Structure 1
Amino acid sequence: MIRHFHLVGAGLVLLLPTSTLAQTAPAAKPSYIRLGVGTANDVSGYYRSTRLALEYAPTLSQHFGAAGRIVGVFGKPDNKLERQLPNQDYKAGFVEAEGIYYPFGTDKRIVFGIGAGGFAGYYQKDSYSYLQATSGQVNAYELYSYRGPYAGYLFSLNLDAAVDARQLWRVGAKATVQNGLNGGTTFTYNLTLARRL
């Protein structure tokens, strides 16, 4: 008889509503897809270029996250003399990865993060090796292209704010310092739009 009650009791436990058990499960950690539009220096830091980035950013814990992004940079010099030369432009493509620390947490309406990581990619800068001008007019020049791999480490400051009550959409700003292994330093500034997945 006692054995019969044990079997019935075990059966009742299995029939308990699953919502009661689900209440003890931890909340899911959100991930974001983020688009960034901004500016960056060319590889030698000589002029500003347009920077586009597409990022996937999972939240790892209450205070830590990660980000991986694909970046494209393109631009032309704004110097009056260089604009007289043909084929003066800069193009680069990078893959970036970083870990981000959120000192005030990731569940706030406004989120601040400090990131560190690395980048690797390829660049091409069409420029010149020699330029002669008289009274603002170029009269002699020799073109030269710089190209090759570019990699290094980066540090970033990130600020995001939710724009809706459900916090599906976020807008923000990102500033990054990239130090290349060859010694070049690049500063980037982006405005961002993110969607929670």
Structure 2
Amino acid sequence: MNNTNVQARRHSPAEHLWADFEAGSVAGERGVSLREVPFQVMVGLRVDPLSDAGQRMGAVTGGLPATAGQVTTAPSGNGGAGISTLWLAPDEFLVVGLEEGVPGTLAASLVAALGDGAGQAIELSSNRTTFELSGPSARAVLEKSCAADLHPRSFATGTAITTEITKIPTILWKTGDDSFLIFPRSSFADYLGRWFLDGMREFASGGAPWR
């Protein structure tokens, strides 16, 4: 089976909720929008960023983050969104390809960069899905059940953290003043997607569907 057939037969963890996400998203001063960003390539890294192996891996990813919450980004060679690396721990990182790709390709490049050094690069593309929550009320929706302090003075744009949303462990990345990417494990996609929809309902009053 070729890659085209594989891509055509894939189904994302929250695909069955896409119509609900569209219907539940509203525009306006209190607007909030929800969508799933499916099939992003993800690779988990464990390596000392100061080691030779870490430096080689950093050359592939555009550099490994050095501090808690930091995200580094490498531009795509074909003009796309490229890849970003999120800090999870001093020697643990999540590399995310912000465009649909073939799972395994990025991981293979990072394994090659690791060589015989101490560390690991593991293909995790099927391990998590991605939700994008955006709009003026996006933070208010998250604050209903997020364990972290999401005020801008504590959670700056461009920062990514590990936290819990409605007791589900997840990774939360603030990509803009009013936009967030959320990375739950795939098995929690249905539950978390429905929770977001429920949290968005109060902002639909008087609003118009998001387009």
More strand as a share of residues = 1
Question: TM-score with structure 2 length normalisation?
Answer: 0.23
**TM-score (norm: length of structure 1):** 0.24
Structure number with the bigger relative contact order (C-alpha 8 A, sep ≥ 6) is 2
Structure (1/2) with the larger helix percentage: 2
